[in-house]
A and B are shown apart, each in its own frame.
Chain A
Amino acid sequence: MARKGDHRAFAGIVERYKGMVANVVKGMLGDVPEADDVGQEVFIRFYHSLERFRGESALGTYLTRIAINLSLNALKRRKRTLSLHNEDGEEQRWPEVSDEGRPMERREARELVEKALRQLDEGYRAVVVLRLIEGYSTKETAEILGIPLGTVLSRLARAQKKMKETLSDTKL
């Protein structure tokens, strides 16, 4: 374990888990520069809490929890900033996507997913990111978000219905 001061071992952890953290943070915030900053903050927070980390949960789950909390905080900040500039409070910092109903390249597919995720409220988006993108079980998702299992299941169902409407015009 990379206890404080062992930068090389810590860099190994960052290398290993950065993809997972990117999925959570960018799934929540979109592929914007702010997401990279939040990603860095996730690992820095983890570094400072290394001595408190006792390995009771898996390292990946621990990092996911930090990532989701920091992303939700970033979304709150974003909403506050937007409400100052935009009366609708609508999120506009995610890249706009045009889909033309043809087989998709990887990047296009990702952008389409972002478009669908953007339609969801944060609570629903978090459930989709953890369960459907990161592949956590519904029980783990409930634990990470600190919500009941029933809420996870109902949010999943509603989120999928909404996303399906968004994606329905596109050839998946």
Chain B
Amino acid sequence: MNAKEKIRNLLYASFDRELDEDERRILEKALQDPELRAEADELKNMRRLLADTSWEFGEDFTARVTQRIAQEEKGKVVEMEPERQFLSVFRKMAIAGVAAVFLLLLSIYFTSGSLSKETIFGTENFSEDELVSYLLYEDFNE
């Protein structure tokens, strides 16, 4: 990069960042050259033109946005991908299941005063023989 190009780069940089002392001094000196000064003026004008530029959306833009939102909410048919749909249903079922188990354990605890295996399975009052019969599907009330 030649010296002229370096000075030009300094000129462009001077609009967007703080130059250090040395850079400022070099640029100020270089700006005595009418050609560079003209380029600096052109650059300023171009930046002003850009800063003054503005666009607008078409008529009723706001109404069209709110209308689209209202339509989406009215339909409310949320188009979900199958996996997301499955995950959503699964999550709800899992939460319901955990809540049911929790309530069941809570009611066992309050009725039996313990959460041992025997109280959970309702076998705390069974003798060993009764348990064997129970496991063999025999009706031990007979």
Describe A's contact surface by its main secondary structure.
helix
Closest residue on chain B to residue A27 by CB atoms: B55
In the complex with contacts A14-B62, A40-B65, A160-B46 CB distance below 8 A = yes
Hey, which bits of chain B sit against chain A, CB under 8 A? 9, 12-13, 16-17, 39, 42-43, 45-58, 61-62, 64-66, 68-70, 72
Q: Are A167 and B69 in contact (CB under 8 A)?
A: no
A residues 51-82 in Cβ contact with B at 8 Å: none
Among the listed B42, B52, B55, which residue makes an inter-chain contact with A22, where contact means beta carbons less than 8 Å apart? Answer: B55
Q: Are A153 and B57 in contact (CB under 8 A)?
A: no
Across-interface contacts of A157 in B (CB, < 8 A): 9, 12-13, 16
Describe B's contact surface by its main secondary structure.
helix
Among the listed B46, B58, B61, which residue makes an inter-chain contact with A167, where contact means beta carbons less than 8 Å apart? Answer: B46
Closest residue on chain B to residue A106 by CB atoms: B52
**A153 to B19 Cα, complex, angstroms:** 13
A to B CB contacts below 8 Å, 13 in the list: A11-B62, A39-B61, A40-B64, A44-B69, A47-B69, A113-B49, A132-B47, A133-B51, A153-B16, A160-B43, A160-B46, A164-B43, A172-B42
Q: Are A14 and B65 in contact (CB under 8 A)?
A: yes
Q: Are B13 and A109 in contact (CB under 8 A)?
A: no
In the complex with contacts A19-B54, A27-B55, A131-B61 CB distance below 8 A = no
Q: Are A36 and B58 in contact (CB under 8 A)?
A: yes
Across-interface contacts of B72 in A (CB, < 8 A): 44
Number of interface residues of A (CB under 8 A): 41
Closest residue on chain B to residue A117 by CB atoms: B50
Across-interface contacts of A161 in B (CB, < 8 A): 12
In the complex with contacts A133-B51, A133-B53, A40-B13 CB distance below 8 A = no
Among the listed A43, A109, A156, A164, which residue makes an inter-chain contact with B53, where contact means beta carbons less than 8 Å apart? Answer: A109
**A113 to B45 Cα, complex, angstroms:** 12
Q: Are A153 and B17 in contact (CB under 8 A)?
A: yes
**A27 to B46 Cα, complex, angstroms:** 15
Across-interface contacts of B58 in A (CB, < 8 A): 36
Give me 16 other A-B pairs in contact (C-beta within 8 A), A113-B50, A156-B16, A157-B13 excluded.
A7-B69, A11-B65, A14-B61, A14-B66, A18-B57, A23-B54, A44-B69, A110-B55, A132-B50, A135-B51, A157-B16, A160-B46, A161-B12, A168-B42, A172-B42, A172-B48
